[in-house]
Amino acid sequence: MKRFFLFWTLLLLPVLALHAQDTLTVMQYNLLEYGNYQSGFAECYETNNNTQRKDECIRTLMDYVKPDILTVCEFGATQALLDGFLRHNLNINGADYWKSDNIINYAHSNIINHIFYDSRKMELKKHVALRTNPRDTDVYELYMKTPSLQSGDTIKLICIVAHPKAGMNYQAERRALMQVAMDYVNAHYPNDNALIMGDFNMYKSSETGYQLLTRTYSNPSICFVDPLAGVGGVGNWNSNPQFAPFHTQSTRRYSDECFSSGGLDDRFDFILMSDEVYMGFNRIRYINNSYHAVGNDGRHFDMSVDQNGNDVVPPVVAEALYDGSDHLPVTMKMLVFAHLEVEEHACGGFTVYPNPASNQLEVSVNGTYRISNLLGQTVLSGRDSRRIDVSGLPAGFYYLSIEGVTRKFIKN
């Protein structure tokens, strides 16, 4: 895995030095019934889930993480809360650039998903709410504000925020929600930079909803990449100490009727990315090893996040994580390339045919070539050929690299 990313770093190093426009930090956070005191799954009230105290915690976390995009789940579904959140937590200390969008709530849920973004760096073109159960799934189409945007040089980023039903017995419902989201991506954004994030309430990677997102959708070229797949983060997450470095729920060992108890023992919160983001095909590229759960130091399995100190965040941040929600936020970073030269550098050169391929790729190679899988592992290599025999590869999704240029293809 490290060798694979070293290869890409060396390949793009001259381009980054000349044309890197910005780094984007994304944070996804389940806010635990923010401002919602109506009866629901959890008994959360002003006394045990105080909004003013939560705001203090959110301001601490925003100052620590400094995200450019904040997506949230379990946000109270009123415009007054939305306006207040911007006013009290984001547009403070002279800042006036944080924006959001109006609420769409077809499901008439007490809690919704939402997005907040730095309008100095991006603008929101479209917000679509997909009618899913028990809450809408929200799709946000963002454009990066690059110097050449006015001339039509657009860099697009799609953020999909989902919060399927919780509980061991609702795998089918979670899969149904993900099916709607994947169908929408396939119809509207099959080749775009896309993230899907949220509190997925999934207990293990064998769940059909997770498999649909990452492996089994009918068009495998749009399947999402889990950034933890290559570092041991995929498996049976529930109450399993093997996955202690990746758990995001719960922040408390003992709790009241609102916050979940038991300590950190589930990986419910995710940011998954399209291969376009993972590999940087469309001028937005994931920064290797930048994905993590804020405050998870790997030694708080079945413990409160601040119990006996925390090795990766300051005490004030650990306290904010404990008091702010029963979930840890997850974050990742991406590089944005502002100039068309990057796209030409990364995408020029050759065409893969046929795609999908069954037995052979009709590609003329003068030099060396390499075929790698989604984890960056080389599965086939050679040089100087008019055809590449791929009949021995298992069915799946691959990358073909020839002299520093990469194309994706599907093996039937």
Q: Which pLDDT tens digit goes with each residue over 241-274?
A: 999 999 999 999 998 889 999 999 999 999 999 9
Quote the pTM value: 0.81
| 96-100 mean pLDDT | 97
pLDDT confidence band for 365 (50 / 70 / 90): confident
- Whether the pLDDT of residue 16 is over 70: the answer is no
pLDDT confidence band for 3 (50 / 70 / 90): very low
- What is the DSSP code string of 274-316? EHHHHHTTTSEEEPTT--EETT--S--BTS-TTTT--SSS-HH
Cα separation, 223 vs 219, in Å, equals: 7
CB atoms closer than 10 angstroms to residue 224: 28
Round the CA-based radius of gyration of the chain to a whole number and report it.
22
pLDDT 10s digits, 142-176: 999 876 665 566 899 999 999 999 999 999 999 99
H-only helix segments in 67-207: 79-85, 171-188
